[in-house]
Each structure stands twice: as structure tokens, then as C-alpha cells.
Structure 1
Amino acid sequence: MRYANEGKLKEASIQFANALKIDHNFGDAHYQLAKVYLKEGSYIPAYAELLHTVDLEPNNVQARIDLGNLLLAGHQADKALEQADAVLKLDPNNASAYSLQAGVSAYKGDHATAIQQIQHAISLKPDNAQFHTTLGLLQASDPSTATAGEDQLKKAVSLDSKDATAALALASMLERKGDLPGAQQQLQAAEAATPKNVVVRSALADVYLRQNNTAQAEQTLRQATEDLNDTDAGAGLLASYYIRTNQLPRAESDYADMVSKHPKSVPLKLAYARILVLNHDISKAKQVGDDLAKTDSSLPEVAVLNGMLLLNDGKSNDAFTLLQKAAKANPDSFAIKFWLGRAAMAKGDMNTAQQSFSDAVHMNPKNMEAQAALASVAMQNHDYSTLADVAKSAMAANPTASTPYVWQGIAEANQKYYDRAEADFNQALKLNPKDWEATAQLGQLRLIQHKLPEAQKLLEQSLADNPNNARALGLIVTAMSAQKQPIKDIIARVQQQITKAPNNAEMYSMLANLQLASGDAAGSLSSAQKALQLNPNDSGATMAYSRAEIAQGNTAQAVEKWKQWTQSHPGDARGFTILGSLQEAQGDRNGAIASYKSAIGIQPDQAMANNNLANLMIETGQNLDVALSYAQAARRALPTSPNTADTLAWVYYQKGNYESARDLLEDATKNEPNDATIHYHLGMTYAKLSRSSDATAELKKAESLAPQNSQTAKDAQKALGSIS
């Protein structure tokens, strides 16, 4: 108890655990341990200890209240209500039980009942600030009672200046009314009363930013980082801001100074290492990691850092294994869950990525990085229903953040609810006029609506707010192309942006592709090489480089580059697939087969690898049953692709199943009417089915579509001769 009162939570938990080793049925020890876990934010073990407490001490009303609040936070409203009801049977005038009931009613959407219940709680304990905060939040959600809600929040703050929730809600209300100075004043008072509260300091910095007082915002974040350098959230405050505003060089310099000033702060070192990784200064990051490994090797954060460094080296499988092991040892570590999600994403395991990010969000709903990662998975999966859910969750946790409105807008735009999407993008810009992503999304919406000049103007604004925004630049290229602007002008625009963002590998890759399209293979190769210098792990840059080499007749160089890529990225199925296709083009069938098999070993449903391998097996006279299994896997992965239909049909043809081949090929010709190979295969199939006139028509079509003297043209001519 003494350790807990002194804030030494780890020491306290050890002593409570020692007491339970002596007497596992010691109810008060379970409860005190639960309270320590709650203070640490370790909710899963806290839940277990509270269950033990209530089982051993059913009359412990405060334990039941704590358990009920935890159940409610975990979206188990009915079970939470059971705890409230149990408390009221023991103590009919327990104000906290009525407050818990109010929380359950609000969760279920019954605000009128919730207000009645919390008002009853206040009548029993009028000086409880938390109850006034709850009532204020309920009333603030309804415009007709918003003024009363503001009064309740003011009452809560007056009763308890350390009630950060009330101060934050009151500041948000004032800001929505346009009273930014009032919001600032509330947050300044809350900062003075709760100097250790990271959320308050971050919110204060955001208010300064929305008043365009960048200097004061940065000073607030810098001072908070210094003051709270012993916590992960505090040490990362300034880093998150610098990352968000693309000031990595400045971040590196500032954090180097702070680490030197606070050499014992592990959180600061970890934040510094993260910045170094993002700034591609890997050698320094590894130095920091080595130092931490010597002094703090048992910390989960060190495992996270090593995982980050492995991911940066392209060793996603090693990173995943390391972080998965760390997650088992530290199931309540937000950072490990988050980076395990990143590692899973890097290796293409989207299910594990989604689950890990969901766990991270559950542990820390207010963490926008975790919310953003979960949103990213949803976008990659084209799962816009989940994206909309993530957006709503993030809005609830961070009501003044602009990014969730961007996600909701993206979800709506992809479901063709363009008016709603536009409203959300504009709301994001209202909350943060410098939200370059919202501006870019609005620009993309204008592209969809074919309002090209307006689209280009918005995208240029997005680039002005974030010169490193390669996606906005790519959309500008699209807008300029759609307006039939000369490619030399498009290339000049990209080159102009590169002068403002000289270390952006994506922009050099973009330039390389445009130069190649213009016929400048040498310039394309030079730009691709520059992109690879900036980021050797950029697959887009590697692709641009290989295309430029092939354009100059250097297929061997392109093959060698992808061999190097697969050696340094052994878990990249796509890389092995590209290598296989290049080896195939080079005539190295054995090498291509080996590469495709490597890709399938990493990712069994890799469509292109399965499809190409099946074709090669047919061409080289290998086992048709095995070829069929690969062709079927490709078809499952891409069920509407004419290419996978053609491959599967040709395996069926080789096995004598001509009817199945015909059905697939007839559908394929409808979707891809100008593919000579598909027409050739359909002609050969018709011939086997004794449909000579149809076979002749298809083979003639194949001959006319195929390039002169190509193998398909020769095969079609030969087949026509045999039919006639």
C-alpha cells in the first residue's frame, strides 16, 4: 500500500502478488492489485483481479463499481448493469452505481434515462466532479441542452481542477463555439492542475496550431516532452508532431539534444531511434538500439526498436517472429501490438495485422497512429465498411482531430456517396486548415467529377502544405495528362517538386516512369538509380530501374537487380514473382520456375506466380495435375481475370477436358476480345470438339491479332493448315 501511494506501481504489484502467493483467497490483495493494474493501464489483468475480488468479497461495492466501469469500457453493457444493480441491492443510495447505470443507458442510446440517472447520482453526491462531467457530456451532445452541458462542465472544473476530462470537453465546446481563447484558457488551467496529463498538453498545442501560433504550439510540445520524458506518451509528443509536419531533420536535432540532456530516459531514446529510422539514419538508430540492449534488454520497447530496424532492413519475417515472441511475453504492451501489426502488414499477413492493430486501438483508443494503421489495413483490403467504423471510433476518441473525417470521406467516396465525402473532407479542413491529406482527397474527388482545373488547384495546395506528398503529385500528373498537357510539361512539374523535396524516392520513381514514357530511357535509369540511393527498400524504385534497363536492352541487369532484391527481402512474394517474369522473358525457364515456386512458398495465393508457373509447366511438359492445382489457385485469387481463365482452360485442354476449356475461353474472349493467345486456344478447343468452322474463325482471329512472326501467329497458321 505504501508503494502504491508513492506511485511505485511495479513494486506495489510485486508485494500484492507475494501476498497472494501466501493466500490466494485474500480478497483485498486481489483488489489492491487490480487498482494498480488500472493505474498502469493494464486492463486485462485488472479485469481478472476484479473478478477474483467480487467472487471472494461479494459485498465489496467499490470493486463492483470498478468492474462495472471496466465492463462498460469493454462494450459489455449488460454485464456492467448487473454490477450496478448488485451494488444498489447492497446500498440503495450508492451514487456511483447510479452513475454506472447512466453510462450503460448512454451506451445503449437512451440519453433521457441516462440524464435522469446521473442527476440522481448528483442529488446524492452534489460535490462529485465526475458526475457533473458525465451530465455535462450528455447534455452537450444535444444542441437544445448544450448550454446546460457547458454549465455542468464548468461546475465539474470548479469542483475539481484536476478533472482533465471535464476541462478537455469544455475546451472542445468553447472551440466549437469559435471561442479559441476560451478553450486555450481552460487547457492552460488544466495543464497547471494536471502537469503529468499528456492529453491536456497535446490538446493545448493543437489549439495553438488552430490559432496559427506554431511557435507556441511547438514550445508547448517541447516542454511537455522534456517534463514527461520518463513516459512513452510524453517522450513521443514532439516526435509525433514533427513526423506529422514532415520536419524530420529538425526532429533528429532536437531529440539528440534531449537525449544528451536526459541520458537515462529510455522513452526519449526510443523516440529518438524512431525518428532516426524515419530519417533513414539507420547507423545511428542501431547505435541507440545497441546501447539500450546493453542496459535495458528486458524491456518490450527494446524488442519494438529491434523489430523496427529489422523491418527497415526488409527482414519482415524476422521482425514478425521477434515481435510475436515479445507479444506473448508482454500481452498488454501497446507498442508491441502496434509494431507486430506493422510487421504482419509488411509480410502480407493482413489478418494478423488487422487483429494486432485492433488490439492496440482497444488498449489505447486515443492513439491516432494505431487508428491510422487500422484504417490503412481497411483501405488496402478495400473494406470501406470497416474504414467507416474506424473513423467513427477515432472521432469519438479524438473529437477535434481532422484525420477521422478524412477516413470517413474516403469510405463514402469509394461507395459513391460523393456529397457526404465532400462534406467530411471540408469538415476535416475546418478542424485543421493545413490538413494536406484532406485537401488531396478533395482534389481527387474533383478528378472523379472531371473538374480538372479545380482538382489541380486543390492538389497544388496539398503539395504546398506538404511538399513531400508524392501521392498528391501523382494525382497532379493524372490531372495534367487528362487535360492533354505535353509530357515534357508534366516531367518539368515533377522535377520542380523534386527541388522542394530532394530526398523523396517516390518522386524520383515517378519521374523515371514519365521519362521512360517519353522515350528518355537514359534519363529514366538515372532517376531510378537516384530513387534507389534514397531508399534501397523502395520496390517502386526497383521496378522503375528494371523497366529502364529493359528499355535499353539490359534485361540481365534488371534480373540481377531483382535477384538482389529477393536476397535482401526473402519474404517478398511479389519480388520473386517479378524476378520469375523477367527470367522467363530472358529465356531462363528453370530460373523462372524456381522463382515462382519461391513466391508461392511465401504466399500460396500469389495469383501471378501460380498462373505463370502453370503455363511454364505446360510448355515444359511437366505434371499436368500439379499444373492444374497452380492454375486453379490463380483462378481462385483472380476469379474474373481473362488471363487466369485462359491458363486454367489450357490445362483443361491438355488433360482432354475440352468442354470446361471452352466455357472458360468463351467468357475470356468476351472480356479480352483482342488477346491473340486466348483466340488461339479457343480455336484449338473448337477443333477438338469438331466445330471446324468456329475453330477456323478463331484461329484466323488469332493470326490477325498476333504480332507478325510471333510464336502465336505461327502456331495459328499451322493449326489452320491442319484443319483445312
Structure 2
Amino acid sequence: MIFKLKSVGLALAGLALGAVGLVAVARQSTAHADPATARQSLALSLTLFNQGNATAARSHALKAVSQDPSWGLAHAVLARTYLALGEGQAAEGELRRARDSGFDMGRAHQLSAEAWLLQGDTKRALAEAEKTDPRYRLYGLRIAARALAAQGKLPQAQRVLAKVLRATNGNDGLAWTDLGRVRQQSSDIGGAITAADRALAIDRGNVDALVLRGELVRSQFGLIAALPWFETALKVDPWRHDALIQYAATLGDAGRYSAMLEMTRRALAARPGSPQALYLQAVMAARADNDDLARSLLQRTNGALAGQPGALLLGGLLDYRAGAYQQAIDQWRWLLSVQPMNLEARRLLGAALLKSGDSRGALDIVRAIAVRGDADSYVLGLAGQAFEQSNERDWAARLLDRAAIPARDDAKPFGSDTPIADAAGALDRRPDDPIAAVTYIRGLIDDGQAASALAEAQRLARLFPGAPQGHLLVGDTLMMMKRFDAAASAYARAANLRFDEATMLRSVEALDRAGDREKAATVLALFLSQNPQNIVARRLTGHWQIASGEWDAAITTLEGLRAQLGNRDAALLAELGLAYAGADDVDSARLYAAAGYRLAPLNPATTDAFGWALFQAGEDKAALELMRKAVSIAPRHAGLRWHIAQVEAELGDKLAARADIARALADPRFPNRAEARALLATLGA
């Protein structure tokens, strides 16, 4: 029987062509072998592999091996399917069986190289790739490029892949996929998108390219937009482990937990004991406050994810909740050694150090973010407590006062710990190194050298137009120079490549400062539509809904957050009080505002909200007392001045009301200018 087999890459095509000869001369049939049926199973395996369904191809290759255990080619093809599924150890085992069955291993160096690469042995992978038979040279080059990338030699990897693409006139979809991955590692998101699109133009059933495109779309547009890419990949290969993991993670971040659980179970069926699937289930259990289950699931990964950021963050959180502060500290310190700009890890480590009694250590960790103008109240409170425990009460008082103030300064990029002279020297030595450029530019921004920072940031953006970081730095520098329109444009270019939380917040702030609140709201709404569980975006949405008088919408947004975060968030309760007051639900307004005030009686935002709720209930004198307290804590806050002016006007104190309205109007960012002027007009001269 003759089988018409399509090409499956250079190596696999070569294996298929040698099938008949190997059956005849390279082995002796075992007593129970069924060569004819084995050939049918192997032919079906190759067809399915061509179609992108490596999982089904593996199943039929397994049948071929069981039907003719001494057929070396069947073992080699089975190894190739294992490689496509990322299972290097299993592939290595099958290659040994192929060799023992008489298969010519001179034709399989590229397969052995990939097996070693998947097991993390990049040196051995490179050595094996060097031995690749000329017939499969391009396959070997692809594996060599991936090994170089795994060693961090990204420019070299790209040059090797460029050689493959030149040799194939740009028609190697697997090489384009590999190039997309390398560009993604290099932060060249635009280049990665182009490479993934080229790969899919060649083969729409390229599952690895579909998964890569899904990952890129997730960062480029958002969670919801990414889901169809993973779904398409799973239509090609319903049991592809990597696709299932990415799909499950995206579903979980989007709040679709039932679907996430189903996908993790499928991933465990596809790869029993999958550490990634167990980790995702642990995350889901931790979100549901089932820490015992989360810890059990994490332990079942048997250390396979040791040192990875997600596992370190989750493991530390579980230890922290259990009171095992030193264990949490150890994990979060390791995480910060890998990701020093991970602000969440800094907050958590600072809290753990403070809990363990190491106030000086806590200060060392959070100082860099506590001294920033845009530090949040949690970090400021944390630093204030640390100073207090260290008997540095002057610093403690300053930071605790700032923690109680509702308004923060503009957001700034996380600074650089490298002295600017050292950063400049590093850039002189490596002028095309984007990491050195970023460090130097951040140093210039911290040093207030706006013009130099802008010139360097623009140079970086020109050199690496597909990297979001360059455009973000241009925007950050323009924000420092108060060129808000231009900054918004720079952030928009970054958002076209990576529309994450940080980029969204920068874009919204720049547009708002440029006076385009409508467009800023559109950007926020777009982000939230794609990332419906994002807490920061939901908080900001609720805040803006209150500011624009959309009371019912604000209540829906904030109640959703309360259901998720609980009843211990004073700022959230205060805003709920304001929203219910605006909707004329006075009883609910008083309930929430009073609860927020009890949690944070020195916070002017909670104090003002409680006073405003009392004002709406007709208790004007009690309201005025609370609002005076709020204004005394934050005298420059225009919103507080506007609230107290309305109470003063109601009580007939026109002089005080006019003075407070004037102070509110003096702030160019005060949003209620028309209402304030209208009230001022009624108060007379």
C-alpha cells in the first residue's frame, strides 16, 4: 500500500521517505508485530502532525510503536511528536528506542538537540545541533537559535533565524514562530507581532504561532481579545498543553473561574501532574481563601516551578497568611532579586518584614516607593509604622499624615538605583543595549534633566520602534515637562504594542491633564472591557462615575469591588457613601460613610464622606464639624473645599463659603467649576 505523505518540516519529511527501506532492512519483525497496521497508524500520525494536531499524531504514533515495537522509524516519529508537545524527556527515551531498533541516528541529531533543549541543557543542545545532517540543517539551525535565546544571547539567536529565513525565502512558518518568541523575549513586541502574523500566513494551523499571537494580543489589547486565539489553537489540537495553560490563565484573569477550572483539568489530563495546571488551580484556591487547598496544590508541583515569579509570589502570600513571615520574606526577597521593579512584591515584603519585627529592613525595601510623590496610602502607612517602630517619629508623622490625604501627586516611573555616571558609562560601552539605555534615561528623569532624558528616550524609540518601553519613556519625560498632549501621543504608541495597567494609567492621566477627560474615559472603559477583573481600573471607574454624577453606575461598580475586597477598605466604603448620597439613599450613605470613618478617622477622604452623608441627611452642623476636620488635614484639596463651601452656604456663612469656593477654583484641575461659580454668584460680593 502506498501512502501519500505531505511534508512535515525537513526532519520529519526525511524520516517519512525512509519508511519502506527501514521496514525491509533495518529490523527484524517481532513475533506479534503487525507491520501493515503500524504503517497505517504512522501514516495517519504524519497526516495529523501536518495539520497541527500533535497530540492526536502522538496517539497514532504510539499505536504504530505498539503494533511494531522494533520499527525504529515509528519511535523516531513518536519522538518528534513529543518534541512538538514540549516533552523533552519522553522524546529522548523514544530516540534511544529508535537507535536500539536500528534507526540511523545520524539523521536525528536535530531531534536530540531539541530534546536536550527542552530539558534545559542548552550546551548539549547546541553541540547536537552542530552535528545535524545537511538534509536537516535548517531544523538544526532553528534549535541552535532557540538554545542561544535560552542562554540570553538574543541578538545571536535572531541572526541565526534570519539565516534560516533567507534560505527558505521567508517561507518557514516554524522559523517565523521561533523568531516571534525571541523578539518577545527582547521586548520587541511589534517585531514579535509581525513574525507571528507571518507564521500564520504560511500555516493557519500552526498551534505554536496561534498561542504566541494569543499571548501578544493579551498584552496588546487585553484578556477578552486574546481568548479567540487560544480557542482557535485548541480547535486545531484540543489537548495541546501549552494552549490549555495559556487559555486557562487568561480565563482566570478575566474572572471566568469555572471555565478556567475546566481547562486546567484538561491540561492535567493531557499532561498528568502538570505543574502549570496545578499552580493555576492553587491561584484559584487562594483567591477563594482556601489556603490549605492552595498550599496542597502548590506542593504537588514538586518544586518544578521553583524560582518562577508567580510561584514565589503565591507561595509567599500563603506563608504570610499563615503567619510564617520568615518563609514569606525568603520567597519575596528572591522574587525581588529577579524582578527588582515588582512594586507588589516590595509592598508585601515590606509588610512581612514589619510583621517579623525588622522595621529597619522594611524601610530599606519600601523607602524607594514611599518617598515618591505618588506613593499610595498603604505604602505610606507601612513606611510610617516602620519609622515609628525605629523611633524616628518625625519621619513617621510625615508619612502617616501623607497616608491620610486622599489626593496623590502625579504618577512617576519607578526610578533607577544606578548612579547616573555609572549608567552613562554603561551606555557609552554598549550604545545599542536597550537595558543600558533605559537605566540611563530613568536616571536622567530622576535627576530632573528633562531635555537630555527626552533626547535619549526618543533615540531609544527610534532604534527599537516595536518596544513599548521606549515610547513609555518618551511619554514619562514629556509628562515631567508638562507637555501632556505629546505625552498622550507617546503613550498611545506604547499602548498599540502593550496595553497593560501601567500604560493605561499613564494614558488616562496624560489625557486628563491635557483636558480631554472624554478620551481618557474612553481609554479607561476600553481597558476595563478587556480586563473586567482589574481592581485599579474598577476603582478609577467608580471614582470618575461619582465625579460625573453617575450615581447608580458608581454604586454598581463599587459594590462589585466591595464584594471582592470585603468591608475593610476605608476609601472604598467612603466612595460608596458618596455614591449612595448622590442617589438620595441617605440611610445607605450614612451606613457606608460611617463604616469608612471608623476604619480611618484621620483620613480626610473618609471624614469628608461621612460629613457629606450627614449633610445630605440634614444634619448640617455635625457635617460642618467633620468637614472642618477634613480640610484641616488636607487644606489644599479642592474637592474638600467645595464640599465644605456648600455646607457653609446652607448654614448662611456666606463669607466662609465664598473663601472656600475661591480656594477650590484656584486649582486648575478642579472639575466642578461651573457649579461652584453658580453657587458663588448666589452668595453676592
TM-score, reference length from structure 1: 0.53
User: Is it true that 1:390 corresponds to 2:390 in the alignment?
Assistant: no
Q: In structure 2, do the counterparts of structure 1 residues 530 and 379 end up closer, same or farther at CA, with 3 Å as the change threshold?
A: farther
Out of 140, 158, 166, the residue aligned to residue 286 of structure 1 is: 158
The CA distance in 2 between the partners of 1:447 and 1:548, in whole Å, is 34
Q: Once the 2 structures are TM-superposed, how far is the Cα of residue 351 of structure 1 from its aligned partner? A: 4.0
Q: In structure 2, do the counterparts of structure 1 residues 319 and 616 end up closer, same or farther at CA, with 3 Å as the change threshold?
A: same
Out of 38, 47, 57, the residue aligned to residue 40 of structure 1 is: 47
User: Is it true that 1:704 corresponds to 2:632 in the alignment?
Assistant: yes
Q: In structure 2, do the counterparts of structure 1 residues 648 and 357 end up closer, same or farther at CA, with 3 Å as the change threshold?
A: closer
User: Is the contact between residue 676 and residue 712 of structure 1 (CA under 8 Å) also seen in structure 2?
Assistant: no
Q: Deviations over 1:63-108 (max 9, x none)?
A: xxxxxx989x9xxxxxxxxxxxxxxxxxxxxxxxxxxxxxxxxxxx
Unaligned runs of 5+ in 1: 15-31, 47-68, 74-128, 134-155, 163-188, 209-215, 493-513, 654-658
Out of 255, 269, 274, the residue aligned to residue 141 of structure 2 is: 269
The CA distance in 2 between the partners of 1:490 and 1:534, in whole Å, is 35
- The equivalent residue for 1:608 is 505
User: Is the contact between residue 610 and residue 633 of structure 1 (CA under 8 Å) also seen in structure 2?
Assistant: no
Q: Give the letter aligned to residue 719 of structure 1.
A: D
Q: Give the letter aligned to residue 706 of structure 1.
A: A
Q: Give the letter aligned to residue 46 of structure 2.
A: K
User: Is it true that 1:341 corresponds to 2:238 in the alignment?
Assistant: no
- The equivalent residue for 2:174 is 301
User: Is it true that 1:239 corresponds to 2:117 in the alignment?
Assistant: yes
The CA distance in 1 between the partners of 2:284 and 2:115, in whole Å, is 29
- The equivalent residue for 1:591 is 486
Q: In structure 2, do the counterparts of structure 1 residues 204 and 410 end up closer, same or farther at CA, with 3 Å as the change threshold?
A: closer
The CA distance in 1 between the partners of 2:7 and 2:471, in whole Å, is 53
Q: Deviations over 1:287-339 (max 9, x none)?
A: 21232122223221132234335434544344324423532431222332233
User: Is the contact between residue 230 and residue 266 of structure 1 (CA under 8 Å) also seen in structure 2?
Assistant: no
The CA distance in 1 between the partners of 2:249 and 2:424, in whole Å, is 29
User: Is the contact between residue 378 and residue 387 of structure 1 (CA under 8 Å) also seen in structure 2?
Assistant: yes
User: Is it true that 1:719 corresponds to 2:660 in the alignment?
Assistant: yes
Q: Once the 2 structures are TM-superposed, how far is the Cα of residue 446 of structure 1 from its aligned partner? A: 1.7
User: Is the contact between residue 52 and residue 236 of structure 2 (CA under 8 Å) also seen in structure 1?
Assistant: no
Matches within 5 A, 1:265-664: 265-296=137-168, 297-361=170-234, 363=236, 368-378=241-251, 380-381=253-254, 383-429=256-302, 440=312, 441-456=314-329, 479-485=352-358, 487=360, 523-525=417-419, 551-554=446-449, 563=458, 580=475, 583-595=478-490, 608=505, 611-612=508-509, 615-616=512-513, 618=515, 641=538, 643-650=540-547, 663=582
Q: Give the letter aligned to residue 445 of structure 1.
A: L
Q: Deviations over 1:386-412 (max 9, x none)?
A: 443332222212225444333322222
Q: In structure 2, do the counterparts of structure 1 residues 43 and 650 end up closer, same or farther at CA, with 3 Å as the change threshold?
A: same
- Provide the secondary structure at the position in 2 that maps to 1:236: helix
- Provide the secondary structure at the position in 2 that maps to 1:396: helix
User: Is the contact between residue 328 and residue 352 of structure 2 (CA under 8 Å) also seen in structure 1?
Assistant: yes
- Provide the secondary structure at the position in 2 that maps to 1:703: helix
- Provide the secondary structure at the position in 2 that maps to 1:41: helix
User: Is the contact between residue 249 and residue 280 of structure 2 (CA under 8 Å) also seen in structure 1?
Assistant: no
The CA distance in 2 between the partners of 1:571 and 1:613, in whole Å, is 22
Q: Once the 2 structures are TM-superposed, how far is the Cα of residue 583 of structure 1 from its aligned partner? A: 3.5
Q: Deviations over 1:262-305 (max 9, x none)?
A: 45422221122123234332332232123212222322113223
User: Is the contact between residue 113 and residue 129 of structure 2 (CA under 8 Å) also seen in structure 1?
Assistant: no
User: Is the contact between residue 218 and residue 238 of structure 1 (CA under 8 Å) also seen in structure 2?
Assistant: no
Q: Once the 2 structures are TM-superposed, how far is the Cα of residue 255 of structure 1 from its aligned partner? A: 0.9
The CA distance in 2 between the partners of 1:614 and 1:683, in whole Å, is 32
Q: Give the letter aligned to residue 421 of structure 1.
A: A
Q: Once the 2 structures are TM-superposed, how far is the Cα of residue 682 of structure 1 from its aligned partner? A: 12
The CA distance in 2 between the partners of 1:204 and 1:629, in whole Å, is 44
Q: Once the 2 structures are TM-superposed, how far is the Cα of residue 587 of structure 1 from its aligned partner? A: 2.6
Unaligned runs of 5+ in 2: 18-38, 366-382, 388-394, 396-413, 551-577, 646-655, 663-679
Out of 98, 115, 130, the residue aligned to residue 259 of structure 1 is: 130
User: Is the contact between residue 7 and residue 50 of structure 2 (CA under 8 Å) also seen in structure 1?
Assistant: no
Q: Percent identity over the alignment?
A: 13
The CA distance in 1 between the partners of 2:68 and 2:634, in whole Å, is 80
Q: Which has the higher contact order (CA 8 A, sep 6+)?
A: 2
The CA distance in 1 between the partners of 2:491 and 2:447, in whole Å, is 26
The CA distance in 2 between the partners of 1:632 and 1:684, in whole Å, is 28
Q: Once the 2 structures are TM-superposed, how far is the Cα of residue 485 of structure 1 from its aligned partner? A: 2.4
- The equivalent residue for 1:198 is 79
Q: Deviations over 1:694-715 (max 9, x none)?
A: 996686456323366x877998
Q: In structure 2, do the counterparts of structure 1 residues 531 and 220 end up closer, same or farther at CA, with 3 Å as the change threshold?
A: farther
Q: In structure 2, do the counterparts of structure 1 residues 439 and 346 end up closer, same or farther at CA, with 3 Å as the change threshold?
A: closer
Q: Deviations over 1:631-684 (max 9, x none)?
A: 77688777885544444554569xxxxx99972898998879878699999999
Number of residue pairs matched by the alignment: 523
Q: In structure 2, do the counterparts of structure 1 residues 406 and 598 end up closer, same or farther at CA, with 3 Å as the change threshold?
A: closer
Q: In structure 2, do the counterparts of structure 1 residues 626 and 204 end up closer, same or farther at CA, with 3 Å as the change threshold?
A: closer
Q: Deviations over 1:363-419 (max 9, x none)?
A: 456755444444443454455444433322222122254443333222222222222
Q: In structure 2, do the counterparts of structure 1 residues 649 and 611 end up closer, same or farther at CA, with 3 Å as the change threshold?
A: farther
Q: Deviations over 1:181-221 (max 9, x none)?
A: xxxxxxxx99998354328988998599xxxxxxx999979
Q: Give the letter aligned to residue 411 of structure 1.
A: M
- Provide the secondary structure at the position in 1 that maps to 2:300: helix
Q: Give the letter aligned to residue 285 of structure 1.
A: A
The CA distance in 1 between the partners of 2:327 and 2:71, in whole Å, is 43
User: Is the contact between residue 5 and residue 16 of structure 2 (CA under 8 Å) also seen in structure 1?
Assistant: no
Matches within 5 A, 1:678-697: none
Q: Which moved more, 1:665-674 or 1:333-342?
A: 665-674
Q: Which moved more, 1:586-595 or 1:556-565?
A: 556-565
Q: Give the letter aligned to residue 48 of structure 2.
A: G
- Provide the secondary structure at the position in 2 that maps to 1:428: coil
CA RMSD of aligned residues (A): 6.4
The CA distance in 1 between the partners of 2:464 and 2:253, in whole Å, is 21
Q: Once the 2 structures are TM-superposed, how far is the Cα of residue 572 of structure 1 from its aligned partner? A: 7.3
